[in-house]
Structure 1
Amino acid sequence: MRIAVVFRDPPPQSERAGAARLRRLAAALDDRGHEVRIYCLPWWETSGRRIDIDGLEHEGVTFEHPALYYSRLPGLLVRYGPDLVVASADPPGAVLSAWLGARLARVPLFVDWYGDEPDVSGSEWVGPASSLPTRVVTPSEHQRTRVREYGASEANTTVVPGGIDFPTITATDPGERVDVAFAARLDDDSNLEDLLLALAELREAGEWTATVVGDGPERAAFETQARDLRLDDRIEFVGDCPREERIAVYRGAHTFVQTARRQTFARELLWALACGCVGVVEFQSDSSAHELVERRDRGMRVTDPDALDGAISESWTFGFRDVDTTFQGFDHAAVTGQYVELFREAGVGAR
């Protein structure tokens, strides 16, 4: 199968989680034997329009003014003759160009709309970009609702969750045992203060310990708050860590607490749950994290920050695990399989 991926700013030009997700999907489809070509704005210094980057063919749509990307893209798609077009939602104008190219080529258009695309909501093209594609794929019901507010329908939207590398979990040894783990970029949206206040209420509840993974502009303030609450001997701030070190922390932790105010998809929570943690999620109106613990025995949701300490204490009554095989369905290979099934439903002979 020949697949065109419309991706104006792919990695390494974009470091968004949504960009990494679409790049991973393109690579996974290429690994399955499909012919994949990414249509982007070129940033390489070679004279050729096409270049292989980490095993994927990239074609620069224009080396001239970036605005020409939108007008030249449809013709290039038709010339390529794809069986399917997959597009990033960033920017919405490129989705319309991809839609025109797909329509002229008489093939389906799928749009991966992660939710971290910059300035999407302010675009004049956001309505048709959400309503015209054959299918809009989001990582959570929370983001699906947002896309429907832009103009998409229930029929042309679906959820395919973010993925994890489950074999890496089982291949990584658990770290030192701790009672609570937390991971996020340490900014105001991380809302770590709610966890610190909850742990302060549990100061007399045994000799518990906690690990905070992540760095950011509010780290020093959070460390100061931990000292002021007399928790600095219980909580270790380990900074940003590579994936294997995060897995080791999660496999050694009993409970993972999620308090972030904004999360299109709670990736670290998913990794922690797969590593056996009991998940405690503080519900936030602009976060999808609660979706990962709903209807799960080893997960709980709280709507009141004052109830967070009680939920953490209750989570410690669950048995300890350092892996949870029920999350194998979130492995990257399984997630790619969900995309392939959607392609088949649209009449594309995918494998």
Structure 2
Amino acid sequence: MSAARDILAHPGAAPRRAEDPVRLLTFSTLYPSPGRPNHGVFVENRLLHLVGGGEAESTVLAPVPWFPFRGGSSPAEALRHGLRVHHPRFLAPPGLGMLTAPISLYLTARAALARLRERGFDFDLLDAHYLYPDGVAAVWLGQELGKPVVITARGSDVSQLPDYRLPRQAIRRAIAGADALIAVSSGLRDGLLALGAPAEKVTVLRNGVDLDLFTPPVSRRAARAALGLGEEPVLISVGHLIERKGHHHVIGALPMLPGHSLLILGEGSERGALLALARRLGVEERVRFVGAQPHASLPGWYGAADAMVLASSREGWANVLLESMACGTPVVASPAWGSREAVRSPAAGLVLDETTPEAVAAGVRRLLAAPPDRAATRAYAEGFGWEETTAGQMQVFRRVLAARAGA
């Protein structure tokens, strides 16, 4: 055995039976941590429903970026919703992170895994989320350990990062090295095929929505009053305040939507620019920057709004669409990947043909001129529970494990 394999070698474990739960090592930098409680919550939600089915168990390795002198830290280990989550720090120098992240992430994860395996930890399959740098590092770990790797592609790891030469090369190698790939929408699947993924390696498993958490308010009037909202039509836009989320298009639509107000939930580097845009357009009094909100508080905001507007330029599968619809609030969505798969009925809302302030304004006017019954919107969302996705994940995992065993 090589020295590289020695450091990660497991001291020995009882034979596994086919009926035993699949032991996953879920690996992703897109995962909530004490310092960033809303970061990657969509990965956590998917995993919680998976392990809740009883056919899988998981330990989470969720490295957090770190750079000397920047300050800030997260506990090395945390317990979230019954799952043990490990947060080793990986070096992420400003301006160089895109190039150095795969090797830094790999070395950090490798050292953390060595410590875990010294304590008797073992797993059957590496469940990685996001192709770059996470999937790249996961494939290196899987090759070193002799463990199968399944990577879930989620959006900009397919639509944006491959535009850069070195990440594109690394992504294509990760695609080749993974045992299986999961795409959260058909559009992402097409993107993976364009990057060279064999069709038989890719499975489309959409995201779902927590139908117990995201529910319509008992009283919309009370929900609106609790948030200080009046009788005017209220739009809501949810997501990080970054360019690709398209909040500027929604603000830009307000001059064409007199009497409408806008709630923006999220934080990010574009906050100042968005505030300046609202002032320049003379709509500052109609835009309310709410800031980032705990996931559990989102239903109150969705349920109080008349429509949710998603103006993103790129998405794999926008969870906010399902969350809003589950609260009874219809959506106006940009034509990003996944939108037409999520919004397939007038009860859900509508998808724009292009993403401009003019198109957003026209879409909002069209939707609110004859809004769907909110109970019908909720009923539509009920078709997007997690059961189908969980079953599909388990099929992928067991197929990969069976193929490894046969080999």
The TM-score range, normalised by the shorter chain, is 0.7 to 0.9
**2: CA distance between counterparts of 1:45 and 1:318?**
47
Q: AA paired with 2:33? A: P
Equivalent position to 2:304, from 252, 270, 279: 252
Q: Deviations over 1:292-318 (max 9, x none)?
A: 224554332223423332221110112
1:111 maps to 2:151: yes
- Farther-moved stretch of structure 1 (248-257 vs 91-100): 91-100
Shift of 1:130: 0.8
* Counterparts of 1:172 and 1:248, CA distance in 2: 7
Report the residue type matching 1:198 in the other structure. A
Q: Which residue of 1 aligns with 2:255?
A: 200
Kindly indicate whether the alpha-carbon contact (under 8 Å) linking 2:74 and 2:87 is maintained by their aligned counterparts in 1.
no
Determine whether 1:127 maps to 2:172.
yes
Aligned to 2:397: 343
2:185 match:
140
Do the aligned residues in 2 keep the contact of 1:41 with 1:69 (CA within 8 Å)?
yes
Q: Which residue does 1:325 correspond to in 2?
A: 379
- The SS at the match of 1:91 is helix
CA contact (8 A) 2:235 2:305 kept: yes
In 2, distance between residues paired with 1:52 and 1:211? 33
Q: Which amino acid aligns with 1:86?
A: D
Q: Which runs of 5+ in 2 are unaligned?
A: 1-20, 65-72, 91-103, 225-230, 403-407
Q: 1:199 to 1:334 in 2, by over 3 A?
A: same
Counterpart of 1:169 in 2: which secondary structure?
Answer: coil
Residue 56 (structure 1) aligned with residue 83 (structure 2): yes
Letter in 2 for 1:190: K
**Contact 1:7/1:87 (8 A) holds in 2:** yes
Asked if 1:7 corresponds to 2:27, the answer is: yes
Q: Which moved more, 1:159-168 or 1:114-123?
A: 114-123
Shift of 1:283: 2.9
CA-based RMSD: 4.2
Give the superposition deviation at 1:26. Answer: 4.5
**1:156 Cα offset (Å):** 0.9
Question: What residue number does 1:95 align with?
Answer: 138
- The worse-fitting range, judged by mean Cα deviation, of 159-168 and 293-302 is 293-302
Taking the aligned partners of 1:162 and 1:57, their CA distance within structure 2 comes to 23
Aligned residues: 333
Distance 2:307 2:63 in 1: 43
More helix as a share of residues: 2
Task: Report the Cα distance in structure 2 between the residues aligned to 1:217 and 1:44, rounded to whole angstroms.
Answer: 21
Structure-2 change in CA distance of 1:223 and 1:21 (3 Å): closer
Distance (whole Å) between structure 2 residues aligned to residue 222 and residue 45 of structure 1: 33
CA contact (8 A) 1:258 1:289 kept: no
Q: TM-score scaled by structure 2?
A: 0.65
Matched, 1:303 2:303: no
How far did residue 331 of structure 1 move? Answer: 3.5
Identify if the C-alpha distance between structure 1 residues 320 and 346 changes in structure 2 by more than 3 Å, giving closer, same or farther.
same
Using the aligned pairs only, state the percent identity.
Answer: 19
- Do 2:23 and 2:57's aligned partners in 1 also have CA atoms closer than 8 Å? yes
Q: CA deviation at 1:35?
A: 4.3
Which ranges in structure 1 are unaligned for 5 or more consecutive residues?
none
**CA separation of 1:98 and 1:6: change in aligned 2, threshold 3 A:** farther
